[in-house]
């Protein structure tokens, strides 16, 4: 008698591959969105430079984080969001400089 709830190694492997492909597709979208973000921030920096405005705005950064924290529906924790957003801002500053 066979157990219908047990997946064969082949179907388990196919499911794993399907999930990995979905993760890779999302990763590609994240990179595409980040590149778009970098382009916009570069435009903001040029505008600020032309008008004598400081590039770094801690109040704006705080507002952006608080806004994302309120919008976050999880499962990313608040601490995880803080770490992710901190890395995003640091990388943006390095890339756009």
Q: CA-CA distances (angstroms) from residue 78 to 58, 61, 67, 92?
A: 19, 16, 12, 21
Per-residue confidence band for 8, with pLDDT thresholds at 50, 70 and 90: confident
DSSP state string for the chain: ---TTSPPHHHHHHHHHHHHHHHHHHHHHHHHHHHHHHHHHHHHHHHHHHTT--S--HHHHHHHHHHHHHH--SSS-HHHHHHHHHHHHHHHHHHH-
Residue 35 has pLDDT above 80, yes or no: yes
> Domain limits of the chain?
9-96
Residue with tokens 């979208």: 29
Look at phi and psi of residue 74 and say left if phi exceeds 0, alpha if psi is from -120 to 50, else beta: left
For 38-58, what is each residue's pLDDT tens digit? Answer: 999 999 999 999 999 999 999
Q: Residues 9-96: name the CATH superfamily.
A: Chorismate mutase (1.20.59.10)
């Amino acid at each position: 008698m066979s157990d219908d709830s047990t997946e064969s190694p082949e179907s388990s492997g196919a499911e794993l591959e399907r999930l990995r492909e979905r993760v890779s597709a999302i990763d590609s979208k994240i990179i595409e969105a980040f590149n778009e973000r970098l382009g916009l921030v570069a435009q903001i920096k040029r505008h600020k430079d032309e008008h004598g405005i400081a590039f770094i705005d801690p109040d704006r950064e705080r507002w952006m984080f608080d806004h994302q924290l309120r919008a976050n529906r999880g499962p990313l924790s608040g601490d995880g969001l803080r770490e992710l957003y901190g890395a995003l801002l640091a990388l943006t500053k390095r890339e756009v400089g």
